[in-house]
Amino acid sequence: MSLPLPFQKEIVAELVAEDALLIIARGLGLRNILGAFLQIYSQPQNLVLLINTNSDQETELRDDLCANTSQSANGLHFRTITSELSVNERADLYRFGGVMAITSRILVMDLLTNRVPVHLVTGILVANAHRVTATSTEAFILRLFRQKNSQGFIKAFSDQPEHFASGFATLEKALKLLYLRKVNLWPRFHVTVSESLESNTANVIEIRQPLTKAMKSIQAAIIECMDVCLQELRRSSSAIELDIEDLTVDNALFKSFDVIIRRQLDPIWHRVSQKTKQLVGDLKMLRNLLGYLVTYDSVNFNLYLETILATFHPNSGSYWILTDPAEKIFSVHSSIPP
């Protein structure tokens, strides 16, 4: 596969030379990089397993591979193994060689029953490496693979670096589960990345759609509800040793706010009152509601509001829904014509 940017070629060269966990910033072409590895290994003399992908990702990778080769989809040495295939059909595909995109559940079963010729496996490509946890099927697959094959490669890919920044020693644990010792970090401020992006600047036209009067009213009411929840959370901060400096409306508008609060509460989560837990959940829900206001159409947004009302229970502890700003959210939106 022809990679258009120099830093993408450098990433592939690094990973080919040495196994590693690739952590790349979003939007830098991880799909192209993974597709390049499929093209490299989609030969009958190789047997490479691609795990932890969904059907949409597999379809996109196959389409990219077809577009960059002279072969049709049937002629490619890239196959998808699902539960629709029989045991004998799967065994034939393993002998056929190439790259196999396979569901984790089926691969575990085939590994445990020795249907996969593990000693012949060239290596494993792990997509969405940030989802691999100690209890995940993918971690078990890699352990079974390493027990029977110490020579095959393991290359892992992720474009969600924030998952490795939260918690205690998350990256170290991930490397241990992936049986890797090296991390290749490629942020946007990497010198090679910056040079590549600056030399290929795009003309961007920004179009801003102003909010309607009703949307502005709902937005202001949601922020007021968030402030109500934050005030309640501040009152209980002394009992649970919560840093009140982080409890501001400005911080609550960002997704990282959930991580900040949970990071403080996780060690004492078993001692946190149900009211505090409910407040944390309500803040997350209100922040999502703020995003839905500008992404959903009026019909779907109204359905979401009705769902909130339908699931509300007086004893649930959701204090915000009983406030005047909450009443404004529901009343203003119900007055909007469909």
pLDDT at 72 over 50: no
Q: Which of 296, 115, 294, 320 is nearest to 227 (CA)?
A: 320
* pLDDT per position as a tens digit, 118-171: 999 999 999 999 999 999 999 999 999 999 999 999 999 999 999 898 778 889
What is the C-alpha to C-alpha distance for residues 96 and 77, in angstroms, rounded to an integer?
8
Q: Out of 138, 167, 198, pick the residue that ends a domain.
A: 198
Instruction: With both helix axes pointing from N to C terminus, report the angle between 30-41 and 6-17 in degrees, rounded to the nearest 10.
Output: 50
pLDDT for res 283: 83
Out of 87-96, 206-215, 243-252, 266-275, least confident range: 243-252
81 lies in the same domain as 224: no
pLDDT at 320 over 50: yes
pLDDT for res 197: 85
Across the chain, mean pLDDT equals 85
* pLDDT per position as a tens digit, 181-234: 999 999 999 999 998 888 877 788 888 888 889 899 999 999 888 888 888 877
pLDDT at 54 over 50: yes
10 lies in the same domain as 123: yes
Going by C-beta distance under 8 Å and a sequence separation of 6 or more, which residues neighbour residue 108? 137, 140, 141, 144
**Token output for 179:** 């049986």
Displacement of CA 175 from its chain's centroid (Å): 17
> How many angstroms separate the Cα of 301 from the Cα of each of 23, 177, 309?
35, 41, 13
3-state secondary structure of 157: strand
Quick check: 208 and 312 in contact, CB under 8 A? Answer: no
165 lies in the same domain as 232: no
Rounded to an integer, the average pLDDT of 42-70 is 87
pTM of the model: 0.65
Q: pLDDT category, 237, cuts 50, 70, 90?
A: low
181 lies in the same domain as 102: yes
Taking the chain, what is the end-to-end CA distance rounded to the nearest angstrom?
Answer: 48
Q: Which helix (H) or strand (E) holds 51?
A: strand 47-51
176 lies in the same domain as 261: no
Residue 173 in domain: yes
Question: How many residues comprise the chain?
Answer: 338
Q: Out of 174, 198, 222, pick the residue that ends a domain.
A: 198
> Which CATH number fits the domain that encloses residue 118?
3.40.50.300
232 lies in the same domain as 84: no
Residue 208 in domain: no
Q: Could you give the number of structural domains in the chain?
A: 2
Q: pLDDT category, 281, cuts 50, 70, 90?
A: confident
The dihedral built from the CA positions of residue 237, 239, 240 and 241, taken in this order, carries a sign that is: positive
Torsion of CA 225, 228, 230, 234, to 10 degrees: -170
Residue 203 in domain: no
Rounded to an integer, the average pLDDT of 281-305 is 88
Find the domain containing 289 and state its range. Answer: 213-334
pLDDT for res 274: 80
Q: pLDDT category, 284, cuts 50, 70, 90?
A: confident
pLDDT at 44 over 80: yes
218 lies in the same domain as 193: no
Task: Specify which residues 107 forms β-bridges with.
Answer: none
Percentages of the chain per state (helix, strand, coil), in multiples of 5: 60, 10, 30
137 lies in the same domain as 266: no
**Token output for 168:** 């205690």
Instruction: Output phi, psi for 190, to 5 deg.
Output: -60, 140
Residue 205 in domain: no
Percentage of residues in the chain with pLDDT exceeding 70? 89
46 lies in the same domain as 115: yes
136 lies in the same domain as 245: no
Displacement of CA 338 from its chain's centroid (Å): 34
Q: Which helix (H) or strand (E) holds 63?
A: helix 55-67
Number of Cβ within 10 Å of residue 288's Cβ equals 12
Q: Out of 165, 198, 231, pick the residue that ends a domain.
A: 198
